[in-house]
Structure 1
Amino acid sequence: MTVYVDNMNARFGRMKMCHMLADSDEELLAMADKIGVQRRWHQHPGTIKSHFDICTSKREKAVDLGAVQIDYPSDVAKIMKARRAALAKTQV
């Protein structure tokens, strides 16, 4: 299982934001707790789009704790595609 952070660098006010996603919601929530991101910011929980938008300082903390750095949008798209395929297999 893995937690990922991308390099999106989107502006939100004065902050720069990126995505944090994981192979499971449990792992994603555990990392959010470790880096101090409130669970109420969890977007699309329980779906293939499950993620957090986090600021770059939280991204650095996540990387220090073992999160894998990925490229936006290419690697994020690959992860979403794999999630969609896995979901399709479970629904057959």
Structure 2
Amino acid sequence: MTVYVDDMRANFGRMVMCHMVADTDEELHAMAARIGVARKWHQKPGTSHSHYDICLSKRAHAVNFGAIEIDRRGLADLIQRKRALAQNQEKL
């Protein structure tokens, strides 16, 4: 399972949030379920920007379960790779 968590720190009420993304939505949903994040919080499904916003305590759980920590550049690279893959599949 290849899941990533970025280093964003955005305030949301009393929480501080970051992004959790994955190579596939299946991997993303599996990790979300594993760390206790409801599927209703999934954002931008079916796109290269598919992700969950998760609080830092959930981020720590994801890392403990094998998520890879990335920075903003890593997130942008991942989104670009996913977009290119989707475009290549559309051509087939």
Matched, 1:70 2:58: no
Partner Cα distance (2:82, 2:18) in 1? 20
Partner of 2:14: 14
Which consecutive residues of structure 1, in runs of 5 or more, have no partner in the other structure? Answer: none
TM-score for the superposition, normalised by structure 2: 0.95
**Cα shift at 1:14:** 1.3
Q: Give, in angstroms, the shift of residue 28 of structure 1.
A: 0.4
1:46 Cα deviation from its structure 2 partner: 1.4
Equivalent residue number for residue 61 of structure 2: 61
| Matching of residues 1-92 of structure 1 within 5 Å | 1-72=1-72, 74-92=73-91
Q: CA deviation at 1:45?
A: 1.2
TM-score by length of 1: 0.95
Aligned residues: 91
Which aligned segments of 4 or more residues in structure 1 are displaced greater than 2 angstroms?
none
> What is the CA-CA distance between 1:47 and the residue it aligns to?
1.1
Letter in 1 for 2:33: D
Unmatched tracts of structure 2, length 5 or more:
none
Q: CA RMSD in A?
A: 0.8
Q: In 1, distance between residues paired with 2:80 and 2:26?
A: 20
One-letter amino acid matched to 1:53 = D
What is the identity percentage for the equivalent residue pairs of Structure 1 and Structure 2? Answer: 57
CA offsets, 1:37-59, max 9 Å, x none?
Answer: 00000001111110000000000
Kindly provide the amino acid, as one letter, of the partner of residue 86 in structure 1: L
